[in-house]
Amino acid sequence: MTFISKDGKTFFRCKDIEFRNEEDFRRLLGNLIKENVNIILPISEGKEPPRLVFLTREFVVPSGSIDLLGINDEGYIYIVETKLYRSSERRKALAQAIEYASALWSEYSRNPDGFIAKLKEKEPSIAIEEEVSKNIKESVMNGGFGLIIAMDHIDESTEKMIKFLNEMCEFDVYGLSLERYKSDDGVEVVIPKLFPSSLPDVTTESRKKRQWNWETFLDDAKKRGLQEPQIKVLERIYNFSKEITEDKGIIWGKGRTYGTFRVFIEDLFNGEDIYCVYSHGLLQINFALLYPPPEASEDSSKTIELVNKFAEQLYSTGILSEKITDKNYTEEKKKYPNIRPENWMDKVEVFERAVKELIDAMKKSEH
């Protein structure tokens, strides 16, 4: 039984209310999230709660339409599938959410810029910060998804399935229930419950969040079928990265799917990453971080000149497929261009020379 009270003395009994249909449930859930966005986000003990920065309905992927898609301020992507408990389809909810996650990953893991463009097309009024945008792309490439099954009631068997999937699979799974009550005087009460309410407690080694290093990165590259010549190129670019940063400017990723390392020079470009290398051979160049922001002071003209020269070198040698300058780098696919192995690995010497010249020229211009 559920009771509500306005003064702590007089109580009104509330009766259960059934949702008329799934659309009724989805509409209430969407409105509730809009006003209380964090109800779908798990909270880690001892950490600041995450913040939802993007939410949209009916996000289309090749296999169908995701009921609700949300993204938190760390770039983590939540796929919400709604069902009513009384529906005969409820047993398919988890399978459908997994299918949508698979479709999203298949469509955009090699084209994360396309995913960002689709988000902006869906919700043009929402601004996504550069750092969040970068994290979103990494989530898409690494399968950084949380699947949420939202129903009016989560039973014990569904909770067991959620526990099993969290233990065995590469993604996180949650159940969100909405209990709905109404008092005789017309006051409606909605109680949301997230299961589990914090990040899943995982014991299986393969499911724990990974901290990559060179050995695991190399092992993953081999498992993905990269051949010996490609492995040697990865070894070369890694050693080059250690050399230019004096072994201080490499950050290893924590993605569950792909190994990554980011490369930066502490005193250049505000310490932002110059490029990122993935264990499946992709090379990402971070022009959005290399070019000064539009509001930068006039003395940034030298930086613009040098980055333009760097981009021109990569374009003229065929590493970049499109010409990038300070005038057009803000186009989504030119902010962080992703270069396939076949387009850069046989030109690794050219890439290294261009990076070295950029770094040397930047250091010289600052003295």
Residues 157-180: tens digit of each pLDDT: 888 888 888 777 767 888 988 888
Of residues 3 and 145, more confidence is placed in 145
Q: What's residue 27's pLDDT?
A: 83
Report the candidate in 94, 225, 212 with the shortest Cα–Cα distance to residue 150. Answer: 94
pLDDT at 37: 60
What secondary structure letter does DSSP report for 326? Answer: T
Task: Render 117-174 in DSSP notation, one character per residue.
Answer: HHHHHH-TT----HHHHHHHHHHHHHT-EEEEEEES---HHHHHHHHHHHHHSSSEEE
Residue 236 — pLDDT band, cuts 50, 70, 90?
Answer: very high
- Terminus-to-terminus CA distance in the chain, angstroms? 74
Distances in Å between the Cα of 352 and the Cα atoms of 236, 272, 303, 355 are 10, 18, 19, 5
What distance in Å separates the CA atoms of residue 180 and residue 86, rounded to the nearest whole number? 15
Please state, as a whole number, how many other Cβ atoms lie within 10 Å of the Cβ of residue 365.
12
Residue 134's pLDDT band (cuts 50, 70, 90):
confident
Instruction: Examine the pLDDT at 207 and tell me if it is beyond 70.
Output: no
Q: What is the pLDDT of residue 354?
A: 96
What's the mean pLDDT in 224-252?
92
pLDDT at position 108, please? Answer: 86
- CA-based radius of gyration for the chain: 24
More confident residue, 281 or 9: 281
The residues near 222 (Cβ < 8 Å, ≥ 6 apart) are 231
Q: Which band of pLDDT confidence, cut at 50, 70 and 90, is reported for residue 295?
A: low
Over 90: is that where the pLDDT of 344 sits? yes
Work out whether the CA dihedral 236, 108, 265, 250 comes out positive or negative: negative
Where do the DSSP E strands lie in the chain? 2-5, 11-16, 52-61, 64-72, 77-82, 145-151, 172-183, 188-195, 250-252, 260-264, 273-278, 283-285, 338-339
Q: What is the DSSP string of 278-299?
A: ETTS-EEE-HHHHSPPTTS-GG
**Alpha-carbon distance 331 to 343, whole Å?**
21
User: Where does residue 231 rank: exposed (0-12), middle (13-18), buried (19+ CB within 10 A)?
Assistant: middle
At residue 121, does pLDDT exceed 70? yes
CA distance 306 to 326: 10
Residue that wins the pLDDT comparison between 276 and 249: 276
**Residue of 144 and 215 predicted with greater confidence:** 215
As beta bridge partners, residue 189 has 181
Are 52 and 124 spatial neighbours (Cβ–Cβ below 8 Å)? no
Whether 114 shows a pLDDT value over 90: the answer reads no
- What distance in Å separates the CA atoms of residue 114 and residue 108, rounded to the nearest whole number? 7
Mean pLDDT of 79-100: 84
For the stretch 10-40, pLDDT in tens is 777 788 888 888 888 888 887 787 776 666 6
Q: How far apart are CA 278 and CA 169, in angstroms?
A: 21
Higher pLDDT: 351 or 41? It is 351
Coil, strand or helix at 67: strand
User: 42: closest CA among 173, 215, 135?
Assistant: 173
How far is it between the farthest Cα atoms of the chain?
A: 79
Q: 136-140, 245-249, 259-263, 291-295: lowest mean pLDDT where?
A: 291-295
What was the pLDDT predicted at 315? 95
Task: Name the DSSP letter for residue 21.
Answer: S
Percent of the chain with pLDDT over 90: 30
Most confidently predicted of 150-164, 186-200, 245-259:
150-164
